[in-house]
A and B are shown apart, each in its own frame.
Chain A
């Protein structure tokens, strides 16, 4: 009897042990659905000067690269004073342990050579904890005058490799530069690097100028000027600073222009007989098409990136709201239904969001929403925020913020579309109406 029981037990335990053995060989499985959101620490040792003339540029380039990355709010620079080892040779193997020790998760090394007025910049990006290079090294060449652009391109490449999204550092912003008190404000068009460097003025302040808008290729700017006493739309070539006025009928006011994605067409508002509607115009021929025809005020049109639709603001419902219509006109679909008034919509370069200005209960907000009006997210709040414009990668928005009171002034800010990293953009004078260019070629 005992033998039978024992044999039975042996069989059972063996059968039980077999799956447990298999189980022991299976991997331990865990699921992680929460992490942290914090800037990624990186280190940028001063680039290696490969020629004697490159010493200063090597330092300046590394500084601009670092500023670009830090300015996104997604990265945090580890100061050079914390470095354990230095990079003395661009091609020498890295001492990863030294960079791990200071928790540098990304390391950027570079070398600069200057020959005459030509600059060559090389860089490598390392994933320190993986002990490997992230992507291949790149090299840029240009003139010494354009050294900042080369630094921006290095930063764009680093940003893109780590985040998986396109960069936006090698871009420019055209805006309205403002001086003087509110009741006697003088305005002129200015253009600068995205970070506020290299400011240049495109017009004088003889006439009021408004709402400059970049062309899709970044070589031209549309803007509205009161030069003739009435608002008129002008096209300005940035390279030559030559401009011309777009055709418009006598007794009309045209404003709020924007380029189509093709750059061949302009969409704008035209006021005739007290009624404001939206039109498109072929720049070359001057032929225009009326897209809306209501007694309400329709303005601030903006093309979708694919050029098939237009988002605009209208008070046809009794209050100022956002609508989307086909590029050929026709029935428009209202997309904003929240409390308050919505205006100046701008379609994201990615095509999935619309940025807008919202006024509600005495406060102004910059916000974003999906194309059906869902997931509205207000990014800012102040006395007066307006005029959003998208960074080329669709992740950052720049806008103008005006302070309160007679002595109040307007200045530019940028904010991540998550609402984080709100920070001012330095300009030598007051600034409003920014328009972000595409990435430069």
Chain B
């Protein structure tokens, strides 16, 4: 027993002594690194570095590049490489020849694509105009948020039972405290919105027409004709066919269809004058389709405006919807809608569907 303890105690002492004296707890790897760095100082170190950089780069680059280049070089002859180089400049010369034909036919269609961008610009404009009315009907929910300032005033003598029930809702009240400043403005907003329509300056022309692609198709035909006799004959046949097709049609040149931008421009112009504020709730559920014939100057012919059809409401509601639509067409068309003259045949007759259901 004692012997065992002695052996154990001695063993432990030896272990502890080795731990302290043997440097188990003193090993300091950082100092080792520090000493190595501190040894190198002065211009010699810079000189060494400067001297070492070039050899390092040389060795690194030289080893990989050398073997790679050497195998390629023998495999590919120097002459074929030169041959390949020559076609490259020849190709560079070729593109200038190709570019002119591409530009000529593409020029007209590209503007058409730009017009597609125009409608995207129209949308924000339309949204702005619509936002104001849309806010008005939604004014109702706002009062809910304006609940803050008067909770303090709640303890009215009259409302003793009310206080009890509202205590259950207390957590909600805490969340609404930030809404306090809205209380005073809440009802006023509702009224001001209605009053503000005085700013109904009807700007009839929303934007100028995108561009006027003056007969792009004939140009394509002539270009093709210059290339080949057959193509020339084909183009002539096409042109003759088109001319023959247009001649017996409407006296006015129909021109290409209206672009999306031109249609959107007309839509916005009518929309700005379509005032549904005085319509009955039933009329606001009634869709009317109105037809109108147009003068060449873009003005509607008043006595041609007619109700083509209606859905969703009584005859009285349809009549009121028609009268509102007619006012919109006549008011904003009084100075002429901004429509391309060369496409008169496309918009000589217009059918407009007025759908007020979103405006309820």
Contact = CB atoms under 8 A, between A and B. Distances in A.
B147 interface: yes
A12 to B, nearest CB: 9
Contacts, number: 261
A163 B241 CA distance: 53
B105 interface: no
B133 interface: yes
Nearest to A162: B278
Interface string B133-171: 100110111111011001101100000001001100100
A32 B352 contact: yes
A31 B266 CA distance: 10
Interface string A103-138: 101000000000000000000000101110010000
B275 interface: yes
A423 B191 contact: yes
Contacts of B191: 420-423
A382 interface: yes
B282 interface: yes
B21 interface: no
B142 to A, nearest CB: 8
A349 B285 CA distance: 19
Contacts of B43: none
Interface string B275-289: 111111111000000
B169 A9 contact: no
A27 to B, nearest CB: 4
Interface string A7-24: 001100110011011011
B267 interface: yes
A7 B129 CA distance: 55
Nearest to A381: B143
A362 B154 contact: yes
A421 B355 CA distance: 25
Contacts of B349: 25-28
Contacts of B350: 27-30
Contacts of B352: 29-32
B201 to A, nearest CB: 9
Given A24-B346, A34-B358, A127-B323, A378 B143 contact: yes
A284 interface: no
Nearest to A416: B194
Contact of B351 (A28, A367, A378): A28
A380 B165 contact: no
B241 A419 contact: no
A37 B139 CA distance: 14
Contacts of A340: 169
Given A14-B241, A24-B250, A377-B140, A361 B172 contact: yes
Interface residues of A, dominant DSSP: mixed
Contacts of A130: 302, 323, 326-327, 330
Contacts of B244: 14, 17
Nearest to B235: A9
Interface in B169-212: 169, 172-173, 176, 183, 186-187, 190-191, 193-195, 197-198, 200, 202
A420 B353 contact: no
Chain B: interface size category: 35 or more
Interface in B222-260: 230, 233-234, 237-238, 241-242, 244-246, 248-250, 254, 257-258
B345 interface: yes
Contacts of A186: none
A30 B267 contact: yes
A6 B234 contact: yes
B336 interface: no
A398 interface: no
A17 B241 contact: yes
Contact of B169 (A73, A76, A339, A381): A339
Contacts of A309: none
B331 A105 contact: yes
A94 to B, nearest CB: 15
Interface residues of B, dominant DSSP: helix
A283 to B, nearest CB: 32
Contacts of B291: 27
B270 A381 contact: no
B307 interface: no
Contacts of A363: 143, 146-147, 150, 183
Contacts of A134: 323
A9 to B, nearest CB: 5
Contacts of A382: 183, 186-187
A360 interface: yes
Contacts of B245: 13-14, 17-18, 20-21
A29 B351 contact: yes
A41 B331 CA distance: 12
A40 interface: yes
B143 A127 contact: no
Contacts of B141: 377-378
B143 A380 contact: yes
B130 A6 contact: no
B316 interface: yes
Interface of B: 126, 129-130, 132-133, 136-137, 139-144, 146-147, 150-151, 153-154, 162, 165-166, 169, 172-173, 176, 183, 186-187, 190-191, 193-195, 197-198, 200, 202, 230, 233-234, 237-238, 241-242, 244-246, 248-250, 254, 257-258, 263, 266-267, 270-283, 291, 302, 316-317, 319-320, 323, 326-328, 330-331, 334, 345-347, 349-359
Given A33-B357, A36-B197, A37-B197, 14 more contacts: A21-B248, A24-B250, A27-B350, A28-B263, A28-B266, A30-B352, A40-B275, A73-B194, A100-B334, A127-B327, A163-B278, A381-B144, A381-B183, A420-B191
29 contacts: A2-B233, A13-B245, A21-B245, A21-B249, A25-B345, A25-B349, A28-B347, A30-B351, A32-B352, A33-B358, A35-B274, A36-B275, A37-B132, A38-B277, A39-B198, A39-B278, A164-B283, A164-B320, A340-B169, A341-B162, A362-B147, A365-B143, A377-B141, A378-B144, A404-B153, A418-B137, A420-B137, A420-B139, A420-B190
